[in-house]
Amino acid sequence: MSHYRRYLPLLALLPLASCEHAGASNSAAAPARQYIVGIDISASRTTYQLAEERQMIDELIGRMAPGDRIVLIETYQAGLDSAGQWQDSIPAQRVPGTLTGKDRRNVEHFRLVASQIASTFFDLTGTRKIMSTDLFRTLHQAADYARAANGRRTTVLLLSDMLQSTSEVNMEQPGGIPAAAWTDGRKAEGRLPDLRNVCVFVVGADPTTRTGARVRAFWEHYFQATGATFKPENYRNMVADAAEIGCE
């Protein structure tokens, strides 16, 4: 079920601020940012994890400034054609380097709307349990959004245990984690997302077990093959402060 249907009534009650300003930036010294957030609500995630990540998104939204954009994507499920998605941005400053009263109102309005929309992505009431996760397809969608960054510095934030679970690759089964050659083969075939100039940050994975470490090794090689900027320390089980999210 797409989240579009679930938050359309909310959007009707909240007049949206102006959405997209191409090439927006806060100032010459501080390029605007784009956060593309993949949200995994599959059956392998715990209620506690989802609650932590919901709070973290609120903190991330609270750090956003004029010119910044956020994209929320519910991770794709195997065999489905669409997933819940939403995007919006804060209008750029009217006078670069000067925060006016209008700019402040734009920021406040955006944070209110974005927070309420984000909550719908974690609301499982009346929604059937999601039993599969297609992270590969989600990353292809994120790459499409990254190409439309309009000069913003882009971070893809994956809130997931990083267990791909489709008929092609099911990391939840014994022997289900592909070798490096699998990724190399898809790169040669042009089947990987283009994540050049994109920072990738993972929250929700557990690399402390033997299987978890192998999953992490797979994704490290995968992200390297996509051209993404990815650091081992950006593969986390949790984040205490949203300010840590990024590759700086």
pLDDT digits (tens, 9 = 90+) for 157-169: 999 999 999 989 9
- Which of 18 and 235 is assigned the larger pLDDT? 235
pLDDT value at 232 more than 50: yes
CATH 3.30.450 fits 3-244, yes or no: no
Count Cβ atoms within 10 A of the Cβ of residue 224 and give its class: 0-12 exposed, 13-18 middle, 19 or more buried: middle
pLDDT > 90 fraction of the chain, expressed in percent and rounded: 69
Cβ–Cβ < 8 Å for 17, 89? no
Average pLDDT over residues 146-155: 95
Say which residues have a Cβ less than 8 Å from residue 60's Cβ, sequence separation at least 6: 35, 37, 70, 157, 242, 245
Q: Cβ–Cβ contacts within 10 Å for residue 115, how many?
A: 14
